[in-house]
Chains A and B, each alone.
Chain A
């Protein structure tokens, strides 16, 4: 994997996604066109059911569009096999979910290690990569605890650690502060923005206006379509998130 290939450049063209709910077809994504360059900070907002989570899943290769093209790192991922997409997810995309999705029986360290284990990275290399990440996330003391022994904020930090351990250029966060109190939420946002400042592309899906408005580029979705796509020159405000 060369550095040139590890860019988060995204090109979405004419993407549609429909779901069948009973005898009703829900048009979750309706003709989405999007260009994202490496290092952008984007928020996606909109009412419930507007398709923002579907968009995020699609961008994260967790879901496949019914039609259209989705170019990631110079290749159209739509015609790829599921196996190839799995490899792409591992190398290019980090996920942060609202409900953390940690493996309950694994310690914080092992949870963060998991993507490297799945990628077949040797243990020595894994340890070398883990140490700075654990330190940076402030989890040194808690690294050997199980998720159930950690606070919500700590759990989300473990999830972020897991998302960045493969040095993926693209970080997708779905309501990352949704289950957290104000203080831990602000912590997590600060961490995410720090990562963005270092060049990672950050896409945050949220209901939360305050969080959404911290991003320079703000997408608004209604009924599966992007209705506004504004870029603000001003840097994020310093008021705390939430």
Chain B
């Protein structure tokens, strides 16, 4: 029986001394694994980027809007009465429900801003200071509303980053007065640029205390109420509690809709699912391509070495030993090719992360594992079958394969 060390030496020699064949097989294997790891890494990065965008909304925030949105059909309301507004009092009453940490009533409108004769239209948002903590908004200058609700002198406003630049340019904004329709307010804070989220581009908005905004827009009804709850696991219970409270206040009618983070996510679920499926599909195709590449290279290798199999048998190797030699070789080759491909892919992904830091390019473990698994299995299987065949041949026939050489 051949010694283990000699077995390995023989295998390594056959790899290192037939450089062209070894290189080609290594390249085939590496490309296959590279394709899978890289593609799934990019796909997964995109998927996680989208997920993170949704997560920025906050998992613990329920959003209440007026009107009942039903998708279950049924007759339209015949009472002739429109949906009732959510008033500021309705919103404040939610604070009495235990488990509610913060609420932020929101009114939204477009209004004309003017400073010293210049004017433009802008998104105007009315809310309370809790809004900033719910949405995790930070200030580059100044701070949130300084005076308490209900006080008479609340003529304050906060600017989004873009709006500040457009209105004031290089000049100082803090402490300046702005006319919002017929209302004057002093700039007390500027937001850092936090991008979009939840449908509003905060960097283009002017934010006022909610009661002032309701006066400007002459409305009793709120556009949204954001409700931050204490316990993420209590989302269904809190939804019911808020609905009960509102029903009580609206004469037994459930005329509000609560959007939970889950329902938001499930609305986008199809998109995410399709994305996941396409990533999986790309991975599957690359794996297939890798398998075929590996199969071809290995088949050629074994066909070329049929004579050698015959010779080894004539020199006294048993069929089992001959098979084992080939399997070892294929395994070594497949493993190093796979590792090589994975390293290159990880290197490229690292480069991508470096270039686009906001997208978390990373290959999920299942993709790396299955890429290496499939290429190893393909490499071993497709050298096993021909090696098996060659080993079964009577040595004399295998030897004749070389006779013409």
Q: Is B175 an interface residue (CB 8 A)?
A: no
A30 to B3, CA, bound (A): 41
- Give Cα distance in the complex from A89 to B315, angstroms: 7
**Inter-subunit contact A83/B13 (CB<8 Å):** no
Nearest residue (CB) in A for B316 is A90
Question: A123: which B residues are within 8 A, CB to CB?
Answer: 6
Q: A62 to B315, Cβ gap below 8 A?
A: no
Report the bound CA distance from A99 to B403 in whole Å.
7
- Asked if A40 is at the interface (CB within 8 A of a chain B CB), the reply is no
Do the beta carbons of B13 and A105 come within 8 Å of each other?
A: yes
- A120 x B2 contact (CB < 8 A): yes
Docked pose: A106 CA to B14 CA in angstroms: 8
Tally of A interface residues using CB under 8 Å? 30
- Determine the distance from Cα of A87 to Cα of B321 in the docked complex, in whole angstroms: 12
Which residue of the partner chain A has the closest CB to B10?
A117
Do A89 and B319 touch (CB < 8 A)?
no
Which residues on A sit within 8 Å (CB–CB) of B18?
A: 105
Contact of B405 among A57, A64, A90, A99 (CB under 8 A): A99
Query: Among B6, B307, B319, B405, which residue has its beta carbon within 8 angstroms of that of A117?
Result: B6
Interface centre among A95, A101, A110, A162 (most CB of B within 10 A): A101
Nearest residue (CB) in A for B319 is: A82
Is B395 an interface position by the 8 A CB rule? Answer: yes
Query: Cβ of A64: which chain B residues have Cβ within 8 Å of it?
Result: 394
Check if A103 is an interface residue, CB within 8 A of chain B: yes
Cβ of A91 within 8 Å of any chain B Cβ, yes or no, is: yes
**B interface, over-half SS:** helix
A235 close to B (CB within 8 Å): no
Q: Does A115 contact B (CB under 8 A)?
A: yes
Instruction: Determine whether the beta carbon of A63 is less than 8 Å from that of B315.
Output: no
Q: Which of A108-144 contact B (CB under 8 A)?
A: 110, 114-115, 117-120, 122-123
A117-B2 in contact given A99-B402, A101-B311, A105-B17 (Cβ < 8 Å) = yes
B320 touches A83 (CB 8 A): yes
CB-defined interface of A156-180 with B at 8 Å, one 1/0 digit per residue? 0000001000100000000000000
- Please provide the chain B residues from 298 to 339 with a CB less than 8 Å away from any CB of chain A in the complex: 307-308, 311-321
Residues of B within 8 A of A114 (CB): 312, 315
Give residues of chain B (1-56) contacting chain A, Cβ–Cβ below 8 Å.
1-3, 6, 10, 13-14, 17-18
| Cross-interface CB contact of B317 among A86, A91, A95, A110, cutoff 8 Å | A86
Say whether B396 contacts A62, CB under 8 Å.
Answer: yes
Q: B185 in the interface, Cβ–Cβ < 8 Å?
A: no
Is B134's beta carbon under 8 Å from chain A? no
Given A105-B17, A105-B18, also A119-B307 (CB < 8 A): no
Given A57-B396, A103-B308, A120-B3, decide whether A89 and B13 contact each other with a Cβ distance below 8 A.
no
Interface assignment of B399: CB less than 8 Å from any CB of chain A: yes
Q: How far is the CB of B335 from chain A (nearest CB, A)?
A: 21
Q: Which residues in chain B, 179-219, are within 8 Å of chain A measured between CB atoms?
A: none
Residue of B whose beta carbon sits closest to that of A95: B314
Contacts of A110 in B (CB 8 A): 13
Most buried by B among A60, A103, A166: A103
- Which residues of A sit under 8 angstroms from B318, Cβ to Cβ? 82-83, 86-87
Q: What CA separation (Å) do A95 and B18 show in the bound complex?
A: 26
A82: B residues at CB distance < 8 A: 318-319
Q: Is the CB of B6 within 8 A of A86?
A: no
Residues in A neighbouring B10, C-beta threshold 8 A = 117
Chain B residue contacts of A117, Cβ below 8 A: 2-3, 6, 10
A97 within 8 A of B: yes
B311 — which chain A residues lie within 8 A by C-beta?
101, 103
Q: Are B316 and A63 in touch, CB under 8 angstroms?
A: no
Q: B6–A62 contact, CB under 8 A?
A: no
Q: In the complex, which residues of chain B have a beta carbon less than 8 angstroms from the beta carbon of A101? A: 307, 311, 314, 399, 402
Inter-chain contact A60/B6, CB cutoff 8 Å: no
Contact check, A87 vs B316: say whether CB atoms are below 8 A apart: yes
CB of A46, distance to nearest CB on chain B (Å): 18
Most A Cβ at <10 Å: residue of B17, B396, B399? B396
- Residues of B at under 8 Å CB distance from A? 1-3, 6, 10, 13-14, 17-18, 307-308, 311-321, 394-396, 399, 402-403, 405
Instruction: Known A-B contacts: A82-B318, A105-B17, A166-B316. Give 5 more (CB < 8 A).
Output: A57-B396, A86-B316, A101-B402, A118-B2, A123-B6
30 examples of A-B residue contacts, CB within 8 angstroms? A62-B395, A62-B396, A62-B399, A63-B394, A64-B394, A83-B319, A83-B320, A86-B316, A89-B315, A90-B315, A90-B316, A99-B405, A101-B311, A101-B314, A105-B14, A105-B18, A106-B13, A114-B312, A115-B315, A117-B3, A117-B10, A118-B2, A118-B316, A118-B317, A119-B2, A119-B316, A120-B2, A120-B6, A122-B3, A166-B316
The 5 A-B pairs of least Cβ separation, nearest first, read A90-B316, A105-B17, A62-B396, A86-B318, A83-B318
